Chains A and B, each alone.
Chain A
Amino acid sequence: MDWDVVIGLEVHAELNTNSKVFCSCKNEYGSAPNTNCCPVCIGLPGALPVLNKQAVKYTIKAGLALGCNINDIAIMERKNYFYPDLSKAYQISQLVKPICLNGGIKLSNGKFVRLNRIHLEEDAGKLIHNENIGSLIDYNRGGVPLIEIVTEPDISSADEAVEFVTKLRNTLIYTGVAQCKMEEGGMRCDVNLSIKPKGSETFGTRTEMKNLNSFKMIERAIKVETERQIDLIEGGGKVVQETRRWDDVNEETVAMRSKETSQDYRYFPDPDILAVTISRQDVEDIRKTLPLLPEQLKDKFVNEYNLPEYDADVIIKDKEISTFYLKCVELLNEPKQISNWLMTNVLAKLKDDTLQITPKQLTDIISLVLNRKISKQNGVELFELIWGTTDDALKIATNKKMINDMSADELYKIIDEILVNNPQVIPQYKTEPDKILNFLTGQTMRQTKGKADSKLVREYLINKLK
């Protein structure tokens, strides 16, 4: 039997605000335990939350980038449950009136994955289990602002899910509202998954897998859980609605708790926080701060810069690269040349390094090459030399004697000498022109220590050997 897979995602992303969402403690990863804490975020008696306006703005900005409608009034609610990492025994979240509704992301296969909502909430602290001491709690993360992006059940495969999360992550990074560092837990994904007979209108019973924090985990968990559900049903069994944990070591999903015993969160509006009113003017002001998003940049690169789609796709994949590229084009109006250098030289470096060249350095090198001040070969060498330094391209080229300071006549004189010294190759030119041309060009480059403009050399040789 063939099956359809039905997937809905709930993606949590920590917002990139300076302070936490309800107090002025630092929103910072990696500090010593319980150092970014105050009466509010450790839930002391009498402490009250005051909503961070920047977190609201960032949520609106994320919503606008994802095509959401922004509610006029948003309400913070309390989600009540007991867990030691939750200092107040309730999480301040949103249920009935979230900040953003609808919106969505278009996948490369043309499918539009609809969003249900984006809401703002606070993160919980972290439990640290120590064999000798017992369980400890670090509340540094407690109260860090999170947005939860909830999709409709529009996703039908692991590949679609991974593409969706990739595009979502990239969009959030582009807007600057979140860093989405998955390895630090800055972005986590819950997967709701069910299967149904191919073409059936009725959804099957779904399971939820929580806190998947890498693309590989998302992909593997979906594949494994799909197989599990198919095997279960085909073997005459029934899927139970439950939360399952992904066991990354054994590559399997494990039942955590069923819906029967699940908690009633007893949501109600948080009486400590006034309803958030969002004016149309606020929304428009925030819209103005939106940068060009990946798809818009791609259009710009293809239509304005005449880049091949392939180049554009590579460049927009990473905000740092596209920002670098845009700055380069601002300095030197040679979009395709810059793209070539970026894709071959810069990206090769970035495989195991961070970006260590400035737009000015790169475009200076490219200009030197394009103006035939240095050869392409020396240009590449110069690029290697300048990487990781703050040096000026022209200065290094001069010091390293890379500058082509020969006149054309001087060059021609050298070539003429080479021809005289290698008379045996001239007859061969008729039968193997490329081989001979390469040989003579190579000789010239060696003689000039790489300074000569190889293009000029070839032109002269072709003319001479005619």
Chain B
Amino acid sequence: MKDTTLIQLVNDIKSGKTKAVDAVKYYINNIKEKSYLNAVVEVFDDAIQKAEEIDKKVKNKEPLGRLAGAPIIIKDNMLYKGKKCTCASYFLKDFISPYTATVVDRIIKEDGIILGRANMDEFAMGGSNEKSYYGPCKNAHDSTRVAGGSSGGSACAVAADLCVASLGTDTGGSVRQPSSYNGVFGMKPTYGKNSRYGIVAFASSLDQVGPITKTTMDNALLLSVIAGADEHDDTSLRAPVDNYLSQIKGNINNLKVGYCKQIIEKIKGTPYFSKYKKVLDFLKSQGAHLVEISIENIELALPCYYILAPAEATSNLGRFDGIKYSTRNKDAKNIGQIYNFSRTDGFGKEVKRRIMLGNFVLSSGYFDAYYNKAKALQQNIRESFKTAFSKCDVILFPTTSDVAFIIGSMNKNPIEMYLIDLFTVPANIAGIPAFSLPFDKGENNLPLGLQILANDNNEGIIYNLADFIEKNYKESK
């Protein structure tokens, strides 16, 4: 069972070689043993019962779904009817989901088992998973370091073998960055590929759900299950979804691999650069063509993100007001106090910071200078990527240029923390798919991620390249 992949586990369960119940028990045991990681904040009490139902189906030779018996952990901002969903916030500490998110529902329909919910930065705001009501989630490879964020719990749980796969959400890198820090595989699909229905919104125009897995192929399978149009989400793409596994061909002949001039400038001279260059050389040796491309204004994606995301967040978080379902301050005596006291108690510092920032950029007199300018810039960056993809099939970026940092080391200056999102934010701003895979090791033998970006709806091309690197590339040292 140890470190089994999703595809292997589903095959073993279907063939009767492994029992779903044993798989669930194995992971529950791991969660207990590695509770110091603080990755999983709740194991759902019906997981074993669900596993028994799957085993019964196997025994009775009933038809089985594509995720039969696979214990999957969801980020704590995804609704699953009857279970708590807290967004790692004091404000929602007692909130029980009254309905199920579309992506979660699709996993259940394919006989997957929702094992529990994962730690995260409060309301998905943060890049270290230190800003959680439940306390920090630790890195699976070094518990003095951060798991990354905001989907830190989801990435750590996969890396530490606490589940076979997980779901995270990615607004500015929140799936890819913790995947990179924990040495696992994380996808931020094309905007609209996955339904956002039942996912607590952070920045609606940027949020995407993404699978986090132990292999590229596992990721391709899980995305194939959860992706696709949803009548409950106007922004979900109507185009039919591919079976991404069938797009993994085992070769990269004539693939045009782009490297971005502006990104090279940023990482030149760092230890990451030599590793990055080595992987490019390897791809060339395997039949790919390397293409230098330029993406105008890419360095402005980050400020653009830190205007648009807080603007949307401030509006999205307005519904947490102590009136209907969020924790109400007991001393509040009138409506003004209910709002004021409850929101003061309810939100953590980083969330408040972003609410303030968002209100500022939306306020009259500043709207044109900030929000509208950022919107125009977003369009401009998106077009730059389109132009680049007329010359190449994929573009390689770092996910982060360094390994996970020490817990608490970044707490002095929020801007410094924001800068870590430099390489991940552009894909959200442009709405294109981007994938992080572990490809090398950095300081203290900690994992480093490589990011593959492609044009809209080209997740299949990404998976093919990632699988090729995963199976054929030998790391640099």
Contacts and interface: CB of A to CB of B under 8 A. Distances in A.
Nearest to A274: B234
Contact of B99 (A39, A78, A273): A39
A39 B102 CA distance: 13
Interface in B220-263: 231-235
B107 to A, nearest CB: 16
Contact of A268 (B79, B87, B232, B367): B367
B199 A46 contact: yes
B301 to A, nearest CB: 17
A42 interface: yes
Interface residues of A, number: 28
Interface in A73-111: 78, 80, 82, 84, 87-90
Given A44-B325, A50-B232, A82-B339, A266 B359 contact: yes
Given A268-B315, A271-B205, A273-B234, A48 B197 contact: yes
25 contacts: A45-B85, A45-B87, A45-B319, A46-B196, A46-B197, A46-B199, A48-B197, A48-B232, A49-B234, A51-B234, A80-B314, A80-B315, A87-B319, A89-B315, A89-B321, A90-B315, A266-B362, A267-B362, A267-B367, A268-B367, A268-B371, A271-B205, A272-B201, A272-B204, A272-B235
B160 to A, nearest CB: 27
A43 interface: yes
B95 interface: yes
Interface string B284-312: 00000000000000000000000000011
B324 interface: yes
B318 A48 contact: no
Per CB-CB distance, the 8 closest pairs between chain A and chain B, nearest first, are A89-B318, A271-B205, A266-B362, A271-B204, A46-B198, A45-B200, A43-B319, A88-B319
A432 interface: no
A125 to B, nearest CB: 11
B323 interface: yes
Given A80-B318, A264-B364, A268-B371, A43 B99 contact: no
Interface string A249-283: 00000000000000010111001111000000000
A285 B70 CA distance: 51
Interface string A29-51: 00000000001001111111111
B363 A266 contact: yes
Nearest to B78: A46
A19 to B, nearest CB: 13
A50 B289 CA distance: 44
A256 B321 CA distance: 24
Contacts of B234: 48-51, 272-274
Interface string B315-329: 100111101110000
Contacts of B92: 45
Contacts of B85: 45
Contacts of B199: 46
Interface in B409-440: none
A272 B235 CA distance: 6
A295 B386 CA distance: 54
A50 B367 CA distance: 26
A80 B319 contact: no
A90 B78 CA distance: 22
A51 to B, nearest CB: 7
B335 interface: yes
B321 A50 contact: no
A90 B196 contact: no
A50 B319 contact: no
Interface of B: 78-79, 85, 87, 92, 95, 98-99, 101, 196-201, 203-205, 231-235, 311-312, 314-315, 318-321, 323-325, 335, 339, 359, 362-364, 367, 371
A42 B232 CA distance: 15
Nearest to A88: B319
Contacts of B325: 44-45
A49 B319 CA distance: 14
A410 B315 CA distance: 89
A50 to B, nearest CB: 5
A48 B79 CA distance: 13
Nearest to B192: A274
Interface in A334-356: none
Nearest to B365: A264
* Residue of B87, B101, B205, B234 with most partner-chain A CB within 10 A: B234
Contact of B311 (A45, A50, A268, A272): A268
Given A46-B101, A47-B197, A84 B335 contact: yes
Nearest to B230: A48
A129 to B, nearest CB: 12
A400 B95 CA distance: 73
A243 to B, nearest CB: 18
B351 to A, nearest CB: 14
Contacts of B319: 43, 45, 87-89
A89 B320 CA distance: 8
B196 A271 contact: no
A412 to B, nearest CB: 80
Contact of A48 (B203, B233, B311): B233
A165 B359 CA distance: 37
B315 A78 contact: yes
B221 to A, nearest CB: 25
Contacts of A80: 314-315, 318, 362
